[in-house]
């Protein structure tokens, strides 16, 4: 793999990938190894894996309700560019929600989080086999049953210049930001350390790609092509963890199944990772690893923090047993 002298950013090594997919490992353009891995529990271990969308059906996408004609054009050009990028994906624009990929403009007064750079994206990977000790994959399995099921993208409408003034984004900036955030939404968590990829952090590279697709140039990306050359759920490594640390996972997995909650979904962020389930009234039971980057390097520090909904789901276990 094209590591050169730039260390891998994803927290895993490519031995397993190289063994199973030698052609991919020889592809010097791609830096899949910079992608943060998703995780699924196995007996006393975490399986690290990559997740992508299925090609079975077009992916439903909703555009921001308040997008101007120019903004709509930039977003549609970005979607069309990814459709033409050789991943085998198709999108279908939906006029109502929920959609599988929801695109919005971030608004300070409405959205209680901050967005910087090109925007902000979460992409949820569903463990399609549910989560229980019985259904957990064998520690040596080549793949876990998982595919992306939902992504939310927040884009910025304006940037700030060097003297602190707000400056509306150009169509090229918006198209570039949309291309980049869609790259995250399609299953690439994290950024590549170098190259001409849309998945770098450098805004000038991202804007250049945006301008190019608006001009009708062909677009593709070696990193996403590499991801879509693999089966979804491909295991790229594992970490031994204390079985006791996973017991909360099995318990909540069982409870969620009993209560008919949907999930689990795995989400990987810039620093954190989480598993969550969705209840019948939209409640979200979350188990959060606050330092996923650190836990990949020091698996003994892996620790899942439940939110209040998760605790009440778990407390239900205790009551059932009485
Ligand atoms: Zn990014």
Choice between 316 and 214, residue whose per-residue pLDDT is larger: 214
Gap from CA of 209 to ligand 1 centroid (Å): 14
- What are the start-end ranges of the E strands in 56-131? 59-62, 91-94, 101-105, 119-127
Coil vs helix vs strand at 203: helix
Gap from CA of 229 to ligand 1 centroid (Å): 21
Gap from CA of 237 to ligand 1 centroid (Å): 23
Q: What would the pLDDT profile of 216-269 be if each residue is shown by its tens digit?
A: 999 999 999 999 999 999 999 999 999 888 988 999 999 999 999 999 999 998
Instruction: Identify the band that residue 141 occupies on the pLDDT scale cut at 50, 70 and 90.
Output: confident
Q: Give CA–CA dist 302/309, Å, rounded.
A: 21
Cβ neighbours around 20 below 10 Å, total: 16
Report pLDDT for 322: 36
CB 199 within 8 A of CB 186: no
Task: Name, in order, each residue with C-beta under 8 angstroms of 186's C-beta and a sequence gap of 6 or more.
Answer: 52, 53, 82, 87, 89, 123, 148, 151, 224, 227
Q: What would the pLDDT profile of 187-213 be if each residue is shown by its tens digit?
A: 999 999 988 999 999 999 999 999 999
CB 18 within 8 A of CB 1: yes
Gap from CA of 121 to ligand 1 centroid (Å): 8
- What are the start-end ranges of the E strands in 67-188? 91-94, 101-105, 119-127, 146-155, 158-160, 166-168
CB 317 within 8 A of CB 255: yes
Bond before 226 cis per omega within 30 degrees: no
Gap from CA of 9 to ligand 1 centroid (Å): 13
Q: Quick check: 318 pLDDT over 70?
A: no
CB 178 within 8 A of CB 75: yes
Q: Quick check: 3 pLDDT over 50?
A: no
Gap from CA of 118 to ligand 1 centroid (Å): 7
Report pLDDT for 321: 41
Q: Give CA–CA dist 173/190, Å, rounded.
A: 20
Report pLDDT for 200: 95
Gap from CA of 177 to ligand 1 centroid (Å): 9
Question: In the chain, what are the domain boundaries?
Answer: 59-228, 242-322
Gap from CA of 202 to ligand 1 centroid (Å): 9
- What are the start-end ranges of the E strands in 165-295? 166-168, 235-240, 262-268, 273-278, 284-289
Report pLDDT for 161: 84
pTM value is 0.93
Cβ neighbours around 110 below 10 Å, total: 8
As a whole number, mean pLDDT of residues 14-41 equals: 91
Q: Which fold has domain 59-228?
A: Collagenase (Catalytic Domain) (3.40.390)
DSSP 270-285: SS-EEEEEE-TTS-EE
Report pLDDT for 317: 52
CB 43 within 8 A of CB 139: yes
As a whole number, mean pLDDT of residues 37-48 equals: 92
């Amino acid at each position: 793999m094209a590591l050169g002298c730039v260390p891998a950013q994803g927290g895993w090594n490519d031995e397993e990938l190289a063994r199973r997919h030698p052609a991919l490992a020889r592809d010097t353009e791609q830096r899949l190894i910079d992608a943060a891995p998703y995780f699924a529990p196995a007996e006393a271990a975490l399986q690290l894996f990559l997740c992508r969308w299925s090609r079975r059906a077009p992916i439903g996408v909703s555009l921001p309700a308040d997008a101007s004609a120019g903004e709509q054009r930039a977003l549609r050009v970005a979607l069309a560019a990814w459709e033409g990028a050789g991943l085998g994906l198709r999108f279908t624009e939906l006029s109502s929600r929920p959609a599988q990929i929801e695109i919005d403009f971030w608004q300070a007064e409405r959205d209680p989080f901050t967005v910087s750079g090109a925007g902000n994206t979460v992409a949820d990977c569903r463990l399609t086999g549910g989560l229980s000790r019985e259904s957990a994959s064998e520690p040596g399995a080549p793949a876990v049953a998982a595919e992306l099921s939902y992504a939310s993208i927040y884009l910025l409408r304006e940037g700030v210049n060097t003297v602190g003034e707000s400056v509306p984004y150009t169509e090229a900036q918006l198209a570039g930001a949309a291309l980049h955030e869609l790259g995250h939404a399609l299953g690439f968590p994290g950024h590549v350390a170098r190259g001409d990829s849309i998945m770098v952090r450098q805004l000038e590279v991202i804007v250049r790609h945006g301008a190019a697709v608006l001009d009708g140039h062909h677009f593709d990306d070696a990193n996403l092509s590499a991801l879509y050359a693999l089966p979804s759920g491909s295991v790229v490594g594992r970490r031994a963890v204390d079985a006791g640390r996973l017991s909360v996972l099995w318990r909540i997995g069982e409870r969620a199944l009993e209560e008919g909650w949907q999930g689990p979904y795995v989400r990987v962020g810039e620093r954190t990772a989480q598993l969550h389930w969705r209840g019948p009234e939209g409640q979200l039971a979350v188990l959060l690893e606050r330092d996923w980057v650190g836990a990949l390097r020091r698996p003994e520090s892996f620790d899942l923090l439940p939110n209040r909904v998760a605790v009440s789901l778990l407390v239900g276990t205790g009551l059932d047993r009485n």
